Structure 1
Amino acid sequence: MRLISRIFLLLACCAGLTARAAKVDTVTTPSAAMNKDIRAVVILPDTYDGQKQFPVVYLLHGYGDRYNGWVNKVPAIKDEADRNNLIIVCPDGNISSWYFDSPVDKKWRYETYVSGELVKWIDKNYKTLADRKARAITGLSMGGHGALYLAFRHQDIFGAAGSMSGGVDIRPFPNNWELAKRLGPKSAFPGRWSENSVTEMLHLLSPGKLALIIDCGKSDFFYEVNLALHQKMDYLNIEHDFIVRPGVHNWEYWSNAVSYQLLFFKRFFVRK
């Protein structure tokens, strides 16, 4: 019995030595536009060996959170990188950037950073498929708005985009989430608030250029603006997936929703 126990122990140890799992890097990336260094989390799949190139999904956090929010609150996101065989990058959008280049504060240039500076840095420092057909972006809440906002404005950079519980129309919320700090008061600058609402940016889309998936819980306070976006896209014959499930604006919902988003992107990458 001792011999058998030792054999099983040896086999277990060997299995542990050969097992592989996603690797999580915390990196510091430079932003010339904002004259500062910015942190990001990079999740590498278990098959990453420094030789093969991988597609990349940029995963944005919500208001009040930072670059490590996703990996800390949804640790299973590492398994998703393995399962879908892709790199996941979680940038820092500060706690309230909304991923704009702010017309009020020139030091807040998070559109320039995420869609330009960070993408170039990731492609330079990791084995990526450096092509829009192998690059997607999504996020939750403020990050859901940011993902669609950046993808709509940079279709040469991103081939697919998604949103989970996204604030896709900011106009109904003039006193929330420091939006007025980034755009100026809505009463004084209504045009800015419209121009920076995803719902009013559909004219930027080139037919068939972006693969799109939008997800929101039925009891979420952003549900009505997401439904309105879906209906407008449907009316304009803009192809997209629209998912509604029971749920509210919380991590329980997003930890489930992100699996659907990443599977959608994996299928997009395979098709392309």
Structure 2
Amino acid sequence: MKQLFLFFIGVLFAFEASAQFGQWGPQSKVETKTIHSNVLNADRDYTIFLPKSYGTDANRRYPILYLLHGMSGVNTSWFDNEHAKEVADQLIASGEACEMIIVSPNAGGNVSDGAWNGYFDMPGWKYETFFYSEFLPFIEKTYRVIGDKQHRAIAGLSMGGGGATAYGQKHSDMFSSVYAMSALMNIPQEGAVPSQNPNDKMALLTKSVQENSCIKYVADADDARKEQLRSVKWFVDCGDDDFLLDRNIEFTQAMRRQQIPCEFRVRDGAHTSEYWHSALLTCLPFVSRNFGK
């Protein structure tokens, strides 16, 4: 009877360990949580990737990558559409990327359904203020983040690529590297659709992108700003069939004229999830190499 009892105890322990760590030991995990914003007067979701050692090494702190989605995307888009967890697991397992926390906040939704979009402050939507005064401090207090410039990076696609670039420009003291994919670096005036409706969210977004032009920020840089920009490692990645390719070329040209180092890749592809999925294979090793520097 005693042996039978011990057998069942062993089976129960194995079952609990399997449920907790998976069949092959500890696993990374992705969670979606909510933060209340007093700035936005709303709840905002975020999705976070925690590496497999996060649950087993309670004393370890991690570098962090803020990963920004594109227009009409949401916090889960990087994980549902571009498979960020699977890419991170693969690259960490191969040693091409270090273990890191990856977090994607919700700055969008379907504009046609009335959702706000954008990473900048605009009338009725002070998202940049929310990001720096509420979201980033909350994440780095709640999770075991190292929390300094050398261990913090930012990346994004399309609207999020422009947001990541602008955040890296204006907050160069906070990020070690920026990886911009198919980035909305600017919207030329001739390409903007005027609106007479002051509450038109697309018009507000367009104006905010123009006011925060990543290209103009570099072109207008004085010596002090140039030095700040040189403290960040920059990478621009855009497909040869992407409708934003010209804007990415213009940004890279502005960086070259100001003698600010910036890696630039034009690969085969368009403005698609397949392209951004493949970009992650370069993005995660790039930010990993620059953590701690």
The reply to whether TM is greater than 0.5 is yes
The amino acid that maps onto 1:97 is: N
Change (3 A) 1:236 1:228: same
- Give the corresponding residue for 1:187: none
Pairing 1:86–2:100 present: yes
Name which of 21, 25, 42 aligns with 2:48.
42
* C-alpha contact 2:182 2:271 (8 A) present in aligned 1: yes
Name which of 242, 252, 260 aligns with 1:230.
252
* C-alpha contact 1:137 1:151 (8 A) present in aligned 2: yes
- Give the corresponding residue for 2:121: 101
- Give the corresponding residue for 1:160: 177
- Give the corresponding residue for 1:149: 166
Pairing 1:198–2:218 present: no
Number of aligned pairs?
250
How much identity, in percent, do the aligned residues show? Answer: 32
Distance 2:49 2:203 in 1: 33
CA displacement at 1:37 relative to structure 2 = 1.5
Distance 1:46 1:79 in 2: 14
Alignment of 1:108-257 (within 5 A): 108-171=125-188, 173-175=191-193, 178-182=201-205, 194-202=210-218, 203=221, 204-205=225-226, 206-257=228-279
1:142-192 superposed Cα distances (whole Å, 9 cap, x missing partner):
0000101111111222221121001111225312995422365xxxxxxx7
* C-alpha contact 1:161 1:213 (8 A) present in aligned 2: yes
The amino acid that maps onto 2:53 is: T
Structure 2, unmatched stretches of 5+, are: 1-13, 110-115, 195-199
Name which of 22, 27, 34 aligns with 1:21.
27
Distance 1:242 1:98 in 2: 24
Pairing 1:260–2:282 present: yes
Distance 1:81 1:200 in 2: 37
Distance 1:136 1:195 in 2: 23
Distance 1:141 1:92 in 2: 15
Distance 1:194 1:75 in 2: 31
CA displacement at 1:114 relative to structure 2 = 2.1
Distance 1:248 1:66 in 2: 20
* C-alpha contact 2:159 2:184 (8 A) present in aligned 1: yes
- Give the corresponding residue for 1:52: 60
Larger Rg: 2
CA displacement at 1:193 relative to structure 2 = 5.9
3-state SS in 1 of match to 2:125: coil
- Give the corresponding residue for 1:7: none
1:180-218 superposed Cα distances (whole Å, 9 cap, x missing partner):
22365xxxxxxx764311111122441521111110001
- Give the corresponding residue for 1:65: 73
Change (3 A) 1:160 1:180: same
The amino acid that maps onto 1:222 is: L
Change (3 A) 1:54 1:112: same
Distance 1:76 1:154 in 2: 25
Distance 1:193 1:42 in 2: 26
